[in-house]
């Protein structure tokens, strides 16, 4: 076995290969699908590389035109030490940061979804992101389709400015997403059968292309967290068995991207995927384990969560565990999107909530503090494209999280409004 590239004393960096090789060493027969997967993975493996060399490998790019741009990306990735240095170098309390899969991330992250696709908005985002990095927000969330790739590029430019001023790449956790088609970012080889609802694909060829485009836009060799963006679009167009096959192929492609050093972890960013009884987070977790063993990289979940949308926290019929509880059992990290629901929860909240959160004077802070205080949620992702947004949200950094009693009192109030 030591003659297989990447499987000698250095060890394969692809957990799928490791898991399948371990089965062979135990004389456990491989299924036809496992054997085919092992052949594909081995044929594409290269000897183990140092992290510093990841940016120079564009060998699996499906678009040769991206090669030179990928070669010009920054090496390295976020890690626990870098995040801890970010936290210790500022006057923010340690409680403002959480651990997520060996990363240290701020409990408020900057989102980049909204805004016009113009130079003015680009400049505003660059300034806000840069200010966030300098003041201790070290988690940024974007997507290739946000503002037609311009949000990713704004993140990349802000990161380069931050590094030029003495910041470190390993201090910043960068998350992006792929799935939605854009007119100027579609690989020529994509087939009609790979596209759902005329606008969405998570086919392996498409994901490989999108990951490379995102790396180029962001100017980084390694994306820290890569999400499948709203895979429920696929579910709406496919039977359950077909959807499972689509997700299996996507997960396999993402594990290979981890092997190539192009991403660190992957996950799903969804609004309604788990509203369908046919799909469960446990089922997807089990799928990742079947593909790559216990050391798979399906470790992140992004779902909407706020004062008005608490589905991820609600238990099902018969005490069925909530989505957040399942994630905890699986060892996954949950991030909350829409914590102030695009500003709709930033004003006119019930007076009783103000009473339940003494010390907070603004509804936007109450909405955000509720999400940050939710057990099992690592960070709340808030859109910030103005400097005042950054200053306003960072005002919460020195506020202690809600006590258990205060949090439960808020939940009881919210439940009474639903009833």
Residue 236 reports pLDDT greater than 80: yes
Q: Which phi and psi (to 5°) does residue 210 adopt? A: -65, -40
User: What is the pLDDT, as a whole number, of residue 9?
Assistant: 32
Residue 149 is given by DSSP the state T
| Token pair recorded at residue 70 | 């990928």
User: What is the pLDDT, as a whole number, of residue 51?
Assistant: 32
Q: What is the pTM of this model?
A: 0.85
Q: Is 20 helix (H, G, I), strand (E, B) or coil?
A: helix
Residue 4 reports pLDDT greater than 70: no
CB-based contacts of 57, cutoff 8 Å, min separation 6: 46, 49, 260, 261
Task: Return the axis-axis angle of helices 281-292 and 323-330, rounded to nearest 10°.
Answer: 20
Q: For 9-66, how does the pLDDT look when each residue is reduced to its tens digit (9 = 90+)?
A: 333 445 455 566 666 656 666 655 555 566 555 554 433 333 333 233 333 555 656 6
CATH number given to 63-418: 3.20.20.100
Q: At CB < 8 A and 24+ separation, what contacts does 120-124 make? A: 121/147, 121/150, 121/385, 122/150, 122/153, 122/154, 124/385, 124/386
User: What is the pLDDT, as a whole number, of residue 322?
Assistant: 97
Closest of 209, 321, 335, 352 to residue 270, by C-alpha: 335
User: What is the pLDDT, as a whole number, of residue 41?
Assistant: 56
User: What is the pLDDT, as a whole number, of residue 26?
Assistant: 62
| Token pair recorded at residue 9 | 């004393």
Q: How confident is the model at residue 90 (pLDDT cuts 50, 70, 90)?
A: confident
Position with higher pLDDT, 96 vs 239: 96
Highest mean pLDDT among 63-67, 331-335, 395-399: 331-335
**What is the distance between the alpha carbons of residues 101 and 297, in angstroms, rounded to a whole number?**
10
Position with higher pLDDT, 20 vs 334: 334
Q: Would you give the distance in Å from CA 19 to the centre of its chain?
A: 24
Contact 294, 355 (CB under 8 A): no
User: What is the pLDDT, as a whole number, of residue 12?
Assistant: 42
User: What is the pLDDT, as a whole number, of residue 8?
Assistant: 32
Q: What percent of the chain has pLDDT over 70?
A: 81
| Token pair recorded at residue 109 | 């992250």
Work out whether strand 263-269 and strand 223-229 pair parallel, antiparallel, or are unpaired.
Answer: parallel
| Token pair recorded at residue 332 | 């996954």
User: What is the pLDDT, as a whole number, of residue 324?
Assistant: 98
Angle at 211 between CA 206 and CA 212, to 5 degrees: 100
Q: Where are the alpha helices (DSSP H) in 48-117?
A: 67-71, 80-88
**What is the distance between the alpha carbons of residues 282 and 197, in angstroms, rounded to a whole number?**
26
Contact 326, 281 (CB under 8 A): yes
Position with higher pLDDT, 228 vs 90: 228
Q: For 189-215, how does the pLDDT look when each residue is reduced to its tens digit (9 = 90+)?
A: 999 999 999 999 999 999 999 999 999
Distances (CA, A) of 24 to 5, 31, 42, 235, 252: 16, 11, 14, 34, 19
Q: Is 303 helix (H, G, I), strand (E, B) or coil?
A: strand
Q: How confident is the model at residue 417 (pLDDT cuts 50, 70, 90)?
A: confident
Burial (CB < 10 A; 0-12, 13-18, 19+), residue 350, is middle
User: What is the pLDDT, as a whole number, of residue 54?
Assistant: 28
State mean pLDDT over 353-361.
91
Q: Which residues of 166-186 are buried (b: 16+ CB within 10 A; e: fewer)?
A: ebbbbbbbbbbbbbbbeeebe
Give the residue extent of every domain in the chain: 1-48, 63-418
Residue 252 is given by DSSP the state H
Angle at 269 between CA 71 and CA 213, to 5 degrees: 20
Contact 248, 242 (CB under 8 A): no
User: What is the pLDDT, as a whole number, of residue 418?
Assistant: 78
User: What is the pLDDT, as a whole number, of residue 276?
Assistant: 78
Q: Which residues of 54-75 are buried (b: 16+ CB within 10 A; e: fewer)?
A: bbebbebbbbeebeebbeebbb
CB-based contacts of 377, cutoff 8 Å, min separation 6: 305, 324, 334, 335, 336, 371
Contact 136, 92 (CB under 8 A): yes
User: What is the pLDDT, as a whole number, of residue 86?
Assistant: 72
């Amino acid at each position: 076995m030591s003659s297989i590239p990447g499987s000698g004393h250095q060890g394969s960096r692809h957990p799928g290969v490791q898991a399948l090789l371990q089965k062979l060493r135990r004389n456990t027969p491989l299924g036809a699908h496992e054997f085919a997967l092992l052949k594909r993975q081995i044929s594409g493996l290269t000897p183990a590389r140092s992290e510093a060399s990841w940016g120079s490998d564009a060998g699996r790019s499906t678009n040769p035109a991206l090669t030179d741009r990928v070669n010009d990306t920054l090496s390295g990735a976020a890690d626990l030490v870098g995040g801890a240095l970010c936290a210790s170098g500022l006057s923010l309390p340690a409680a403002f940061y959480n651990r997520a899969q060996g990363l240290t991330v701020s409990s408020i992250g900057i989102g980049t979804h909204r805004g016009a696709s113009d130079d003015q908005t680009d400049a505003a985002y660059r300034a806000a992101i840069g200010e966030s990095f300098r003041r201790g927000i070290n988690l940024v969330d974007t997507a290739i389709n946000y503002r037609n790739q311009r949000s990713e590029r704004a993140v990349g430019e802000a990161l380069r400015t931050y590094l030029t001023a003495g910041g470190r790449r390993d201090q910043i956790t960068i998350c992006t997403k792929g799935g939605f088609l854009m007119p100027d970012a579609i690989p020529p080889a994509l087939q009609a059968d790979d596209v759902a609802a005329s606008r969405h694909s998570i086919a392996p060829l498409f994901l490989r292309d999108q990951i490379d485009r995102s790396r180029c836009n962001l100017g980084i060799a390694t994306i820290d967290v890569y999400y499948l963006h709203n895979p429920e679009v696929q579910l709406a167009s496919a039977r359950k068995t077909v959807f499972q096959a689509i997700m299996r192929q996507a997960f396999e492609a993402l594990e290979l991207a981890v092997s190539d050093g192009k991403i660190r972890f992957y996950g799903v960013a969804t609004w309604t995927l788990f509203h369908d009884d046919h799909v469960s987070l446990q089922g997807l977790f089990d799928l990742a384990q079947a593909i790559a063993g216990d050391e798979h990289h399906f470790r992140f979940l992004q779902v909407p969560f706020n004062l008005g949308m608490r589905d991820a926290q609600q238990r099902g019929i018969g005490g069925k565990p909530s989505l957040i509880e399942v994630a905890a059992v699986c060892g996954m990290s949950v991030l909350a999107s829409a914590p102030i629901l695009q500003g709709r929860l930033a004003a006119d909240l019930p007076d009783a909530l103000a009473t339940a959160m003494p010390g907070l004077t603004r509804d936007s802070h109450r909405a955000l503090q509720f999400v940050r205080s939710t057990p099992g949620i690592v960070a709340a992702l808030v859109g910030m494209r103005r400097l005042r947004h950054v200053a306003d949200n960072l005002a919460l950094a020195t506020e202690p999280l809600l006590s258990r009693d205060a949090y439960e009192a808020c939940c009881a109030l919210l439940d009474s409004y639903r009833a």
